[in-house]
Homo-oligomer: A and B are copies of this chain.
Amino acid sequence: MNKQLQSFIEENVPKIDAEMHRLIQLENPTTNLKESMLYSVDAGGKRIRPLLVLAVLEDFMKTSEDALKVACAVELIHTYSLIHDDLPCMDDDDYRRGKLTNHKVFGDATAVLAGDALQTLAFTILASLEEVDAKKAIQLVGLLAEASGAKGMVGGQVLDMEGEKSTLTLDQLEEVHLHKTGALLSFCIEAGAILADASEEETAALRQYSKNIGLAFQIKDDILDVTSTTEQLGKPANSDMASEKSTYPSLLGLDGAKQQLQKYHENALESLSFLKRESSLLKLFADYIVQRNI
């Protein structure tokens, strides 16, 4: 991994982890609920979403007292979605990131409620920002809600479930991913743009960037599912093929998927051309998404 990116990640991931932990403690939930919420939040992860929020600010050479909180809010939404996704009635996964899934440890009922409470907490956090004015705060609430709900992530999960019953076209597959993972990634970039006081044109360019890295992220996930071992992934490899799910490799072949990945990568970099910064973190993130092994 690029050294500049690595040091950015190593500097910020511990801050993100600690802040999420602190924000849950602040909620002062009952013991069981707290343990269940903390279990999934503390299970780690790449933290790509919160890092992207912070990376936008870095690329704009801006700082914001609220950026870490906004970054945590979106990661809590992501975490809640994983808890619900893993439930027996959904993907029925026993392991996530090499650890037992939430419901395997706390039971299905508590897992449902911990997910629910993590979603709510994300909005509590956005309602308690200190630096941004109320107008920006309410804009962030609206954007996060749109990215997470029926129009965004949850809508994408339903599309994904429905898609499992049939072979999708490439357009349909893209539609699934633009909702399921793309919407939340786009929120990260747009939230960063808001906190960095980006112009309209800059924000539009960043939207192109986030759309392309979102799709790149998903293709890379699909490719890794085919080319990695269960041990490397921390979850069962080849699970897509086993479930006969439509993926980029199944529709385009492995080489075709790799070419498509390349295309999204190039588009992402192109949309960053407006940035004045010599060494852009967003560029490094796009590179990382394409080159990562897990």
Residue positions of A touching B, CB distance < 8 A = 24, 27-30, 32-34, 37, 80-81, 84, 87-90, 107-110, 112-113, 115-117, 119-121, 123-124, 126-128, 133-135, 137-139, 141-142, 144-146, 148-151, 154-155, 157-159, 161-162
Contact = CB atoms under 8 A, between A and B. Distances in A.
B158 A32 contact: yes
Contacts of A34: 150
Contacts of A137: 134, 138
A240 to B, nearest CB: 18
Contacts of A110: 158, 161
B123 A123 contact: yes
Contact of A116 (B32, B119, B121, B144): B119
Closest 8 CB pairs of A and B: A120-B149, A127-B142, A89-B108, A29-B150, A134-B134, A124-B145, A117-B150, A134-B135
A123 B115 CA distance: 16
B113 A89 contact: no
Given A24-B150, A84-B116, A115-B116, 15 more contacts: A27-B149, A27-B151, A29-B155, A29-B158, A87-B112, A89-B112, A112-B112, A117-B149, A117-B154, A120-B150, A124-B149, A126-B141, A127-B139, A127-B145, A134-B138
5 contacts: A124-B146, A124-B149, A126-B141, A127-B145, A141-B141
Nearest to A122: B145
Nearest to A154: B117
A165 to B, nearest CB: 11
Nearest to A33: B158
Contacts of A27: 149-151
Contacts of A121: 145, 149-150
A24 B162 CA distance: 20
A119 B119 contact: yes
A170 to B, nearest CB: 19
A200 to B, nearest CB: 20
B158 A145 contact: no
Contact of A157 (B113, B115, B133): B113
A107 to B, nearest CB: 7
Contacts of A107: 89
Nearest to A146: B124
A196 to B, nearest CB: 19
A120 B126 CA distance: 13
A116 B113 CA distance: 11
A279 to B, nearest CB: 36
Contacts of A89: 87-89, 107-109, 112
Nearest to A175: B30
A158 B30 contact: yes
